[in-house]
Structure formats: C-alpha cells, structure tokens
Amino acid sequence: MAKYRKLSRTSDQRRALLKNQVTALLYNGKIVTTEAKAKEVKKIAEGLIALAVKEKDNFETVTVKAKVARKDKDGKRVKEVVDGKKVTVYDEIDKEIKKDMPSRLHARRQMLKVLCPVTEVPKEAAGKKKATKTIDMPAKLFDEIAPKYATRNGGYTRIVKIGQRKGDGAMEVLLELV
C-alpha cells in the first residue's frame, strides 16, 4: 500500500502540482481543489507550518554597516566630480538584520524545496515589470503564519466539503488555514 496518493500523474507533474498548491494555500490562506489533492496538500502544509513554529524565534539580530547612495530631493543619486569623473556619493548607515541560526537556516532551505517563488503584481501597476515584487515565502511563514499558530499543537488547516464538481463529479473541497 502506498504512503501517498499518486493523483493519476507522473512524479514530476505530481511534485509540481503539490508545490503550486501548497504555495497558493500559504500565500492566499485558502484554495478550492479536489478532496484527494487537498489531503496531500494538507499533509505538506502542516509539516511546513510546524517547522516554522518550531524555528520562529531561532535567530539573532546583528547590526551591520551598509553603503547607501545619497539621493537628492527628486530621488536621484547625487554625483560628485572626482579626478574628472562623475562618481556617486555614498553614505554609511547602520542596519539591523536577522541572522538565522543553523537550524533555522536548514528549516528555510527545507521550505524552499517545497515552495514556489511568488511574484506579487499591484492592481494599479498591472503589466509593468518594475512594480512587481517577489515574496519571500519562508519569511512569511516565520514572521506571519508561525506566531499565529505558536500556541496550537497541530491542526493548522481545515477541509470543508463544497459539493461535487459539475464536469466530472469529483468532490470539491475548500482547504483553508484555521
């Protein structure tokens, strides 16, 4: 007997499908899918959330010096002439960053094996590549989702049956974060 559902797909198609659905669930908070897919996605998502809850506070804050280009009132870089060449002027600032401890770094890499990259496009700037931004899904798991479930011992998702799909009669469900 198999320990997972094959979902009538080859292994690479199944892996891609599950990665996309787990990412969509964690990014949006809920997805509508078939019952069999939902049970597989639930298994993976709950494992990731449990990993995030376990490692959420395992980091240290470090202050580093960073060089940042000086900007004028219009937001353009300030240039200065040095030896006949225009050179950008930089300021040094102190910046606080989170430095992962080894186990949290390992957890982040385990999450990246399962999650897909997410690109967010604002509605007012649709079609413009410059306005898009990539979402760091492991950071979202550690900073937003894990604190919400810190006191909970498992059971981070719920499956609600919607009914049968019109086309093929497959049972559709709503898979959501509790």
- CB atoms near residue 127 (< 10 Å): 7
Alpha helix ranges (H) inside the chain? 11-28, 35-55, 102-114, 137-140, 146-148
Q: Find out whether 50 and 154 touch, Cβ atoms under 8 Å.
A: yes
Q: Examine the fold and report which residue of 77, 100, 123 is the final residue of a domain before the chain moves on.
A: 100
Domain with residue 154: its CATH number is 3.90.1030.10
Structural domain boundaries, residue 141: 11-58+101-177
pLDDT digits (tens, 9 = 90+) for 70-95: 998 888 898 988 888 999 989 999 99
Q: Which of 6, 44, 165 is nearest to 174 (CA)?
A: 165
Q: Which of 21-30, 78-87, 127-136, 167-176 has the lowest mean pLDDT?
A: 127-136
**Looking at residue 122, what is its pLDDT?**
81
